[in-house]
Structure formats: C-alpha cells, structure tokens
Amino acid sequence: MTNLLSNLLEDTNNEKDLLVGVCSIDNPLLDSFQDNINKILPSARSLIVVIASHSKGALISDNNQVKQYDTIYTYERVRDISMKLTRELEFEDYNAAAVPAFIPLDVMSERKGMKGEICWRTASVASGLGKIGKNNLLITEPFGPRIRIGGLLTEHPPINTKSENRELLTHPKCNSCTNCQKNCPKEALSDYSTNKKLCGDYIFAYGLRKYSDQMENIINSNPDKRKNLLRDGTTRELWQNFMTGCYYYCWNCQISCPD
Ligand code: B12
C-alpha cells in the first residue's frame, strides 16, 4: 500500500524538471484550508504537491510572449502530472482530486480570485519542498523561485512524514539580499509579504480591470470611436489573453532572485 505512493513519487521525482512531495492533511500549516479540503475530497488524507520548473532562458528574455508561452507550458506540466497521479491512485482504488494550480479560481465570493483553495507555497513548505523567500515566493533547492506549483488530494495515507515541516520556514539565503525588492517595478515587496493591489495591477496589465475599462469605453463611445476601439491593440491583446489563458506581464521577483 505505502509502496504505491512511494513509487509514484519516486518515478515523478526522477524527471529533471519536477519536484514532488507529500504531507498529511492534518499538518497544522494546512489548518486554514481544512474547509476547502473537506469540500473538495472529504475522505482526503494526503496532499501531494507537484512543482515544475520554468525555463530560465525564457523568463530572462525581453520578449513577453516568450515568457507567457513558458508559463503556459509550466502550468500545463503541473496539471498533467497532477492529473496523471490522480488516475494512477484511482486505478488502485484511492480516490484523488487535482486542485487548480492557478485558474480556475473562486472569483464569485469575497475572495475575488485572490485566494486559492490551497496556498501552494504553504503546502510546499509543509511537504518539505522549499522555504519562503523575501519575495514571498517558494524557493526550491534545484530551481529557486522559477517554478509553478500545484497538486492533488488523495485518500491514500501519507508517507515520508519525516520530511514534513510544521511551520512556515523562511529561506536562510535571503539573509541581507534585497534583489527582489529592488527589482520590483512597483515596490510591492516588503520582507515576506506582497502588496497585492500594486503587484496585481501591474502583472495583469491586460486582465479583468483593463477588460472592464475597455468595455466601458466601447459602450460610452460614438459609433466611429467604438469601431476603432473594437479593433485596437487593447482589444486584440485582451482577446489573445482570453485565448491563451495567460495574462502575466511581470516575472521580476522570480528572475531577480540569485538562488
Ligand atoms: C492570488 C495570487 C496572486 C495575487 C496575490 C499574491 C499573494 N501573495 O497572495 C497576485 C496577483 C498579486 C499574484 C502575484 C504573483 N504571483 Co501569484 N498566485 C496567487 C494564487 C492564485 C493564490 C495565492 C493565495 O491564495 N494568496 C492568499 C494568501 C495565502 O497569500 P499571502 O497573503 O501572500 O500569504 C503568505 C504570507 O502571508 C506569508 N506569511 C504569513 N505569515 C507568515 C509568517 C512567516 C514566517 C513567513 C515567512 C511568511 C508568512 O505566507 C503566506 C504563504 O506564503 C497562487 C496559487 C495558489 N493557489 O497558491 C499564485 C502563486 C502564489 N503565484 C505565483 C507567481 C509566480 C506569481 C507572480 C510571480 C506573477 C507571475 N508572473 O506569475 C507574482 C508574484 C508576487 C509575489 N512576489 O508575491 C506562484 C508562486 C510560485 C512560487 N515560486 O512560489 C503561485 C503559487 C502560482 C502557482 N501555482 O505556481 N499572485
């Protein structure tokens, strides 16, 4: 029984761009997510965390589409591995459910898409996969903060409890380094916390707010201006973001980290 999860984790960890870990859903770091976990899979006993690495070359590129393309791939990698693990576990009669790494998110309640069902940075610390940096991101040994994180819940009992952490650990290498803070174009980072409004407005330059503004402009314009707005660069960029599902415009806190 225990071999199944151990083997699955070992096989996945053998892939060079991946990191996988597990923690018990009783881990105190998951306390504030218990209601969400219970709603997703009431019989859950373990949380498996799946991390995939970005391409460093893509993220340091000056071409935003290249960075978005790599981000789409990295999220897909996390999703595919998480989905694969759910199927493997269910073939052996352990129910499992993958939890979104990013979107879809609950955008209807007061959370407004700014809170995940599970905070993957916290879950990763709980699973022993890394520590929190001053950039408020998870920093991993092999890939630094240049990663995407997701995972799944399963009723398979947890293993490797020795590698679990029970408190939110900060990364010792951050020490006196403030590269991430200095390189944030909006000065949104203070030690281990993020000004979400400043950051969000910048990284989602063509996101929901831009969409609402563009709609409002279109509605309030005369027919000639409306025709132009419907065909301008903003409408085209918004349309492309809807198509790709990726609407990021900044990765500086991931790139500027020397780790
Ligand atoms: C909403 C969201 C955002 C929002 C809000 C960010 C935030 N800090 O919550 C905005 C739009 C601003 C955002 C920005 C970015 N995001 Co974002 N985001 C999310 C999302 C979907 C939910 C996060 C959430 O639930 N936040 C609510 C609470 C939990 O967050 P919080 O208030 O920051 O809580 C932390 C602090 O309070 C801190 N804390 C509290 N007490 C203490 C005590 C101690 C001792 C310490 C050390 C820390 C600490 O620890 C908590 C956990 O780290 C997650 C995916 C997910 N489900 O986890 C991705 C996620 C966090 N984002 C990610 C990324 C990469 C980014 C960006 C780089 C944008 C981009 N290009 O992709 C920036 C980075 C901004 C930054 N440096 O903080 C990655 C992080 C990867 C990593 N290495 O950690 C995630 C995990 C997506 C993914 N699946 O990979 N994001």
| pLDDT, tens digit (0-9, with 9 covering 90-100), for 223-257 | 999 999 999 999 999 999 999 999 999 999 999 99
Closest ligand 1 atom, residue 146 Cα = 83
Q: 201 alpha carbon to ligand 1 midpoint, in Å?
A: 15
**Percent of the chain beyond pLDDT 90?**
94
| pLDDT tens digits, 94-141 | 999 999 999 999 999 888 888 999 999 999 999 999 999 999 999 999
Q: Which of 197, 194, 213, 90 minimizes the C-alpha distance to 145?
A: 194
135 lines ligand 1 (CB under 6 A): yes
**Atom 44, ligand 1: residue with shortest CA distance:** 168
pLDDT (0 to 100) of residue 160: 75
pLDDT at 162 over 90: no
Residue 111 beta carbon below 6 angstroms from any ligand 1 atom: no
d(CA 5, CA 154): 10
Residue 110 confidence (pLDDT) = 83
Ligand 1 pocket: which of 186, 189, 194 to mutate (most atoms <8 Å of CB)?
Answer: 194
What confidence category does residue 2 fall into, taking pLDDT thresholds of 50, 70 and 90?
Answer: low
Q: What is the Å distance from ligand 1's center to 180 Cα?
A: 14
Residue 149 pLDDT: 98
E strands, 63-210, are 96-99, 131-132, 138-139, 147-154, 189-190, 193-194
pLDDT of residue 1 exceeding 80: no
For ligand 1, whether the C-beta of 24 sits within 6 Å is no
Return the higher-pLDDT residue of 110 and 42: 42
Sign of CA dihedral 240, 244, 245, 247: negative
Establish whether residue 152 lines the binding site of ligand 1, counting it when its CB lies within 6 angstroms of any ligand atom: no
In this prediction, residue 70 has a pLDDT band, given cuts at 50, 70 and 90, of very high
Angle at 82 between CA 76 and CA 87, to 5 degrees: 125
Residue 91 Cα to ligand 1 midpoint, Å, equals 33
DSSP type of residue 48: E
- In percent, how much of the chain has pLDDT > 70? 99
pTM: 0.97
CA–centroid distance, residue 119 to ligand 1 (Å):
7
Residue of 119, 147, 174 to test ligand 1 pocket, by largest number of atoms within 8 Å of CB: 119
The pLDDT mean for the chain works out to 96
pLDDT of residue 170: 95
Q: Is 119 in the pocket of ligand 1 (CB under 6 A)?
A: yes
User: Which residue from 137, 141, 150 is spatially nearest to 256, judged by alpha carbons?
Assistant: 137
Is the CB of 174 inside a 6 Å radius of any atom of ligand 1? no
pLDDT reported for residue 248? 97
| Cβ–ligand 1 contact at 146 (below 6 Å) | no
Please state the rounded mean pLDDT for residues 31-43: 98
When pLDDT is cut at 50, 70 and 90, the band that residue 185 belongs to is very high
Ligand 1 in reach of 55 Cβ (< 6 A): no
234 Cα–ligand 1 center, Å: 27
